[in-house]
C-alpha cells in the first residue's frame, strides 16, 4: 500500500494534471498557422482552438470568433471537446475522493475506507488521463496529416500549438498520480482474514461458541470423562503433600510443645 508521502506526491501530480487539462481545454492555440511560403501581410498569426478561432494582426489587434455551431465542426474537434470536458470532470471528482483517502487527513473513515476511497480516486485519475490523451493524439494526427497534404495551400497549413503539449503533459501527470493511488488497495492487512470477509451471522455464531467454551470447558474435549467439582477437590487434597504429612504425621508435622517450657527457677528455690 502506498505510504502517506507517496499519496501526497500523487495528489500534487494529480492537481497539476487537473490544472493543465483545464487550461488546455480553454486555450485557443490547439493549432497555429505555420510559417511556410508567402503569408498574408495583414495577419501575423492565426490560432484555432476547441471553442474559438483567434487572429493576431500586424496592427496589434487581437480578435477571436466563437464556434457556435457544433454540428458544423469536424469529428475530431467534436470528440476533443467532449473528451476534454469529461476529463476535467473526472479529474475534479478524483481530487475530491483523494482528499478523503489521504492517510494524513482525519476525515474519510477508517483505514480500509480510506484505502478504497484512494483506489477509487486513482481510477478516476487514470480515466481522466485517457480522456485527455485521446483528443490530444487525434488532434495532433489530423494537424500533421493536413500539413503533409500537398493539396492544401500553404496559407492554410497549421502545426500543433501549445495547448496540445499542455494536454499531453497533463495526461502524464494524471496517469502518474492515478497509478500511485491505485496501489492503495487495503488488502488483508487491517484485521484477521477470517473476520474481514465473514458475514455478520457467522461472526455472531463464532462469538457464541467462544462464550459457550469459556462457560463449559468440557466442550473443548468431549471424549474425555467429565470430572465433578467434588471429585476434583478430593483429588487435589489427595495429591497435596502438605495435607498428606498432616494426616499421617509426616516430617512436615509441627513438633509438640515442650512440657518444661512453662517452669521457672523460682519453682525449685
- Let me know how many helices (H) and strands (E) the chain has, helices first: 8, 5
- Mean pLDDT computed over 88-93: 93
pLDDT of residue 25: 93
Cβ atoms within 10 Å of 175's Cβ, excluding its own: 20
- Mean pLDDT computed over 253-258: 52
- Mean pLDDT computed over 193-198: 43
Which of helix, strand or coil describes residue 252? coil
**DSSP code, position 265:** G
Residue 88: phi and psi, rounded to 5, are -65, -40
Tell me the domains of the chain and their CATH numbers: 4-193 (1.20.140.150)
pLDDT in tens, 166-190: 999 999 999 999 998 888 665 554 4
Give the chain's largest Cα–Cα span: 155
| Distances in whole angstroms, Cα of residue 73 to Cα of each of 51, 52, 79, 196 | 10, 11, 10, 54
Distance, C-alpha 145 to centroid of its chain? 41
pLDDT in tens, 197-236: 445 566 677 777 777 766 665 555 555 555 455 554 555 5
Percent of the chain with pLDDT over 90: 24
Q: pLDDT-derived band of residue 245, with 50, 70 and 90 as boundaries?
A: very low
pLDDT in tens, 47-87: 888 998 888 877 778 888 888 888 888 888 988 999 999 99
- Answer whether residue 19 shows pLDDT above 50: yes
| Distances in whole angstroms, Cα of residue 200 to Cα of each of 114, 197, 248 | 22, 9, 60
pLDDT of residue 199: 52
**17 touches 177 (CB < 8 A):** yes
CB burial string 181-218: b at 16+ within 10 A, e below: bbbbebeeeeeeeeeeeeeeeeeeeeeeeeeeeeeeee
**206 touches 29 (CB < 8 A):** no
Q: pLDDT-derived band of residue 156, with 50, 70 and 90 as boundaries?
A: confident
Amino acid at each position: 500500500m502506498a505510504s502517506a508521502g507517496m499519496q501526497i506526491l500523487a495528489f500534487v501530480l494529480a492537481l497539476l494534471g487537473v490544472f493543465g487539462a483545464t487550461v488546455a481545454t480553454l486555450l485557443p492555440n490547439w493549432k497555429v498557422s505555420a510559417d511556410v511560403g508567402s503569408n498574408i501581410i495583414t495577419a501575423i498569426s492565426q490560432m484555432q482552438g476547441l471553442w474559438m478561432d483567434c487572429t493576431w494582426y500586424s496592427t496589434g489587434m487581437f480578435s477571436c470568433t466563437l464556434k457556435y455551431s457544433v454540428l458544423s465542426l469536424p469529428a475530431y474537434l467534436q470528440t476533443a471537446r467532449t473528451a476534454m470536458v469529461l476529463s476535467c470532470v473526472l479529474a475534479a471528482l478524483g481530487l475530491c475522493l483523494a482528499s478523503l483517502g489521504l492517510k494524513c487527513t482525519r476525515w474519510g473513515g477508517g483505514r480500509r475506507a480510506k484505502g478504497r476511497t484512494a483506489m477509487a480516486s486513482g481510477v478516476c485519475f487514470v480515466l481522466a488521463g485517457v480522456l485527455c490523451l485521446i483528443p490530444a493524439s487525434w488532434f495532433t494526427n489530423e494537424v500533421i496529416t493536413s500539413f503533409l497534404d500537398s493539396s492544401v495551400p500553404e496559407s492554410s497549413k497549421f502545426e500543433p500549438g501549445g495547448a496540445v503539449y499542455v494536454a499531453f503533459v497533463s495526461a502524464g501527470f494524471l496517469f502518474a498520480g492515478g497509478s500511485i493511488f491505485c496501489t492503495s488497495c487495503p488488502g488483508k492487512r487491517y484485521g484477521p482474514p477470517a473476520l474481514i470477509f465473514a458475514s455478520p451471522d457467522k461472526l455472531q455464531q463464532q462469538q457464541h461458541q467462544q462464550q459457550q467454551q469459556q462457560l463449559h470447558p468440557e466442550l473443548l474435549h468431549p471424549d474425555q470423562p467429565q470430572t465433578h467439582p467434588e471429585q476434583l477437590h478430593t483429588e487435589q487434597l489427595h495429591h497435596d503433600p502438605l495435607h498428606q504429612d498432616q494426616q499421617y504425621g509426616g516430617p512436615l508435622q509441627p513438633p509438640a510443645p515442650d512440657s518444661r517450657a512453662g517452669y521457672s527457677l523460682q519453682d525449685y528455690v
